[in-house]
Structure 1
């Protein structure tokens, strides 16, 4: 029983888990940002292409 209680009180390795969670959140946020910006750029270029096709420069 003492070993079980000692196991739950042990804090070794918690920093590694915390850093892993933080890194995972940063990666997820970065991926979300890249996808959002990519969609925005794609929409912008599509709009420009549509306008140039409909109204070609003289």
Structure 2
């Protein structure tokens, strides 16, 4: 049992997954900040596209 726990601690696969998780979290933060910063412009763009489809 101790050998398996020792082997588990020495494996580096978990480290790679943690790095991917941190990268994903960073991308999510950048996306949220970008959407918050451009929120009004995106909303007006969606409104204009919607009204164009409606023929208004």
TM-score (norm 2): 0.58
Moved over 6 A (4+): none
* SS in structure 1 at match of 2:35: helix
RMSD: 2.3
Which residue number corresponds to residue 5 of structure 1? 2
Structure 1's 32 and 41: CA in aligned 2 closer, same or farther, altered over 3 A? same
Larger radius of gyration: 1
TM-score (norm 1): 0.56
> How far off is 1:24 after superposition?
0.5
- 5+ long unaligned stretches in structure 1: 47-58
Q: Give the paired residue count.
A: 42
Give the structure with the higher percent helix.
2
With 11-20 and 24-33 compared, the bigger mean Cα shift is at 11-20
